[in-house]
Amino acid sequence: MKKKIILLLAVLILALSSFAAFAADGVKLTVGATPFPHAEILKVVAPLLAAEGIELEIREFNDYVTPNIALNDGSLSANYFQHVPYLENQAREQNLDITWVVKVHIEPLGLYSKRITTLDEITDGSQIAIPNDPTNCARALRLLEKAGLIKVADGALVTARDVTENPRNIRFHELEAAMLPRTLDDMTASVINTNFAVEAGLIPAHDAITIESGDSPYANVVAVRSADVDKPEIQALVKAINSPEVKKFIEEELVPRGIVSAF
């Protein structure tokens, strides 16, 4: 019994010593994120990590490609801006050794317009802009299919070429996601990712003509290099971003405005 107690005490002392060293070393996490809502959510995370002796630097990006390249080459400790299908497709296409560690929230994709206010106003020859990256392009087409505007062939990464029924002869324009808000002056309507819609002054809950439901499978995640998954600071980030404080911020500040759906 005494040997067991001594062994237990030794383990506890070792664990406390490791934690003290972890905090004393001034561990720093550099996390890449798009400005809204990801960077805003990370600002809630920062003091939680600081209490664990970890400094959080938030590095903002305005595109969907650079953060994964920067993560893979070691410029970032983690990133937080994308959903799982996009991450998996990017990792496959770019040969990136990155993976996700925690699901945080869902950002519904929406259809916006400056010219129309209802789906009935989408008439013969209307022009609709959609994201050009494979996963969000497919996601946009599925949104329009669910709205009854088109029918699309089966498949995960469908494009406008896979539209099988288009009774209103909609003309699709596939463009970089960050550019889509700027197309609203020229297009009948545009399917826009929520973060870019909000940055353009749109309020999803009020301005979207149609929007994804809360059961969307496109959960936004924190991604890290595969070799770093079990690092203590990464696990601390996972715990902090799933904390009651972060969930409260999402539910009180973002969900009511239709910006995200809680996961």
Q: Tell me the CATH number at 34.
A: 3.40.190.10
Q: Are 180 and 192 in contact (CB under 8 A)?
A: yes
Examine the domain organization and report whether 12 and 103 are in the same domain: yes
Query: What does pTM read for this prediction?
Result: 0.75
> 250 Cβ partners below 8 Å, 6+ apart?
41, 104, 105, 260, 262
pLDDT one-digit tens code per residue, 212-263: 976 677 889 999 999 999 999 999 999 999 999 999 999 999 988 878 876 5
Mean pLDDT score, 88-99: 96
Examine the domain organization and report whether 104 and 76 are in the same domain: yes
Examine the domain organization and report whether 222 and 93 are in the same domain: yes
Confidence (pLDDT) at 255 = 85
Higher pLDDT, 217 or 20: 217
Percent of the chain with pLDDT over 90: 79
Examine the domain organization and report whether 52 and 133 are in the same domain: no
Examine the domain organization and report whether 121 and 184 are in the same domain: yes
Confidence (pLDDT) at 33 = 98
pLDDT one-digit tens code per residue, 130-189: 999 999 999 999 999 999 999 999 998 999 999 999 999 999 999 999 999 999 999 999
For the chain, the domain total comes to 2
Checking if the pLDDT of 15 tops 90, the result is: no
Examine the domain organization and report whether 143 and 104 are in the same domain: no
Q: Evaluate the omega torsion of the peptide bond into residue 37 and state whether it is cis, within 30 degrees of 0.
A: yes
Examine the domain organization and report whether 224 and 172 are in the same domain: no
**What distance in Å separates the CA atoms of residue 173 and residue 257, rounded to the nearest whole number?**
28
**What distance in Å separates the CA atoms of residue 132 and residue 117, rounded to the nearest whole number?**
24
How far is residue 57 from each of residues 42, 62, 148, measured CA to CA in Å?
9, 17, 44
Give the end of a domain, one of 211, 228, 247. Answer: 211
Examine the domain organization and report whether 240 and 197 are in the same domain: no
User: Residue 141's domain spans which residues?
Assistant: 110-211
Examine the domain organization and report whether 96 and 14 are in the same domain: yes
Examine the domain organization and report whether 129 and 194 are in the same domain: yes
Mean pLDDT score, 192-208: 92
Nearest to 263 by CA among 221, 223, 219, 222: 219
Examine the domain organization and report whether 82 and 131 are in the same domain: no
Angle at 62 between CA 60 and CA 68, to 5 degrees: 75
Confidence (pLDDT) at 16 = 42
Examine the domain organization and report whether 54 and 83 are in the same domain: yes
Confidence (pLDDT) at 167 = 98
Give the end of a domain, one of 176, 196, 211. Answer: 211
